[in-house]
Amino acid sequence: MEKVWLEKSYPPGVDYEIDPDKYNSLVELFQKYTKLYQANTAFINMGATLSYGELAQQATDFAAYLQQELGFVKGEKFAIMIPNTLQYPIALFGALMAGLTVVNVNPLYTARELQHQLKDSGAKGILILENFASVLESVIEQTDVKHVIVTGVGDRLGAIKGALINGALRYVKKQVPAFKLPRAVKFNSVLAKGKSLKFAPVDVSGQDLAFLQYTGGTTGPSKGAMLTHRNMVANMEQSNAATKNVFEVGKEIMVTALPLYHVYALTSNCLCFIPFGGTNLLITNPRDMVGFVKEIAKYPFTAITGVNTLFNALLHTPGFEKIDFTPLKLGFGGGMSVQRPVAEHWEKVTGTRLLEGYGLTECAPLVTMSPYNQEKYNGTIGLPASSTDVRLVDDNGEDVAIGEPGEMWVKGPQVMKGYYNRQEATDEVLKDGWLATGDIATMDENGFFKIVDRKKDMIIVSGFNVFPNEIEEVVVMHEGVLEAAAIGVSHDVTGEAVKLFIVRKDPALTEQDVFTHCDEMLTNYKRPKLVEFLDELPKTNVGKVLRKELRKDVA
C-alpha cells in the first residue's frame, strides 16, 4: 500500500523516519535524562513528589537489592503487580537496570489469571500491593516465584501521611485481606537495604527483552508479547516525533489515570515524557471520579491520556467543567474507539482537541495517531507513525482499494518479537515481518485510517457485515444514553441480529425510544432487535468494553 499519508497529510516538522537505535536500551535513556533533569519533578502521587534525581537513586537501590540480596541475573523475569503509585517507576526502572524482563500484572487479576501469567512467564520474583497479596498466597506454590516484595499504597508518601493512608486501608476500609507470605519483604526495607549495596551495571542491548506484556485476553487466552528494548525505544521515538512541535522541555504535566502496567500508559505517559523532563501526575484510583477531578484540579496539567469511557465519565462528573483548562494542550484517546459525541463534548468543555490514536500490545503500542495540527475530532485514528508501514488486506491477503475495509497489517520497529513460548500463535499473526492485527479498517485518499471494528466482533446480518462500533456511536448520540455496547445474537431468520446493552443517562429512557432513534439513523439490517438496560458495562481495568462478557451472558 502506497504511503499517501506522508506527502498529503503529515504535519510540519514530523519526520518520516525515526532512529530506533537512538538509545541502546531504556536503561541508557533513563540514565541520560534522570541525570540531565535531576532537579525536575518526575512523578506526583497523592501530593508526594519524586524528582528525576531521587527516582534514579531509588531505582539504583532497588536494582542493587535485586542483584546482591536476591541473586537475580540478566534475563530473568520480575513481575510488578501494583497500581499507579510512586513505587511503580522505582521498581520498573530498577528491574530494567538489573537487566531483568518486567512482567506487568493487572492488580485486579483473579487467582486463576494471576497463576496463569506468573506460570506462563516464569517470573522468579514479584512486587505486589498488599491489598492483593492474599491472591498471590493462594497460587504462589504453583508458580516459579521465589521472591516476594510487598508494598502498601502509602509507602512512598512520607512517614506520617503514608502510615495514615496504609492504616486507613487496612483497618478502617478493610481493603487488605489477611495473607501469609513468609518469604515476603517490605518495599521500604528493600530500598533501605539496597542503599548499602553496590549496584553492578549490566550491559543491556536493544535486542534484550524489556517486557513480557500480556494481551488483555479479550480475544482468547492471555499471551505474553515479547517487547524488546528496541521496540520500546522505537515506539517512544515514534510517539514523540508525532508531537515534537507541541511539548516543551520542563513544562509538561501529564495526567496518568490509565494504569502504568498497561502498555498504553507505560509508553505514552511514563516513557515518552522522560526526554522532556516532564511530570506524570499519577492517579491511583481513577474509579473515584469525584476524587479524580479534585486531584487534577490542583495542577496546571498540559496533557491527558484516556479511553472513551474515561473521558465520558469525567465529562459527567460534577466539578470537571469548572477546571481551568488553559494549560491543556492535548487529550489523547486510545484503547477503544473514541465516540464522536464524547469527543465533541470534550472539545466543547475543555476547549482543546481530543486526538484519537490506535495501537495494540503487540506494537508497544502506537501504530497510528491523529496529527497534532488537527483542529477537531474527525472520526479517524489518524496517520501511521513514523517508520511504520500499514496495509489493509482482504481474506486472501491482497491489498484492498482506497475506501474499502480490510484487515490492518502493520510493519515497523515497534512490532513485537513474538509471543513468549507460543510459536504457533506467533506464526498466526506475524507474516514476513507484518503483524496481522485482527482489526478491520479503511483508508481514505489522504491516508487517514478509520477502524471499522474487530474482525471477531463483526456481526453478520443476512449476509451483511455490521460493525458494533458504528451502532454504538449512533446509539450514544441519544441524549438519554450514557454508554452502549452492541453484540450479535443468534436469529432464526437473519442468522444474527444486533442486541444492545445500554447504561441510561435518563432513567425514563425506554426500549421503544432506542428503537425509534435507531430507525432514524440506521439502515434496516443494522437496527438493533433487542435492548437490555444495565447499571454498568463490563470493562477491562483500562475501561475497554468487554463484548465477550456480554456475549457470555447471552449464551
6-63 residue pLDDT tens: 999 999 999 999 999 999 999 999 999 999 999 999 999 999 999 999 999 999 999 9
How many structural domains is the chain composed of? 3
pLDDT tens column, 57-80: 999 999 999 999 999 999 999 999
* One domain, residues 437 and 310: yes
- Quote the pLDDT of residue 244: 80
Is residue 236 in a domain?
yes
Is residue 222 in a domain?
no
**Average pLDDT value for residue range 333-362:** 91
What percentage of residues in the chain have a pLDDT greater than 70? 99
First to last CA, the chain: 40
* One domain, residues 466 and 502: yes
Beta strands in 394-480 (DSSP E): 406-411, 418-419, 430-431, 434-443, 449-454, 459-461, 464-466
* One domain, residues 528 and 450: no
Q: Which has more pLDDT, 510 or 459?
A: 510
* One domain, residues 261 and 341: yes
Residue 113: give its domain's CATH number: 3.40.50.980
Residue 504: give its domain's CATH number: 3.30.300.30
Pick from 436, 454, 472: which residue ends a domain?
454
- Quote the pLDDT of residue 231: 98
- Quote the pLDDT of residue 216: 58
Burial of 173 (0-12, 13-18, 19+ CB in 10 A): exposed
Beta bridge partners of 356: 333
Range of the domain at 82: 49-204
* One domain, residues 112 and 173: yes
Is residue 319 in a domain?
yes
Pick from 437, 454, 471: which residue ends a domain?
454
* One domain, residues 428 and 342: yes
pTM over cut 0.85: yes
Is residue 321 in a domain?
yes
Is residue 366 within 8 Å of residue 236, measured between CB atoms?
Answer: no
Looking at every residue in the chain, the average pLDDT score rounds to: 94
* One domain, residues 191 and 256: no
- Quote the pLDDT of residue 259: 93
* One domain, residues 381 and 415: yes
- Quote the pLDDT of residue 95: 98
Is residue 216 in a domain?
no
* One domain, residues 465 and 441: no
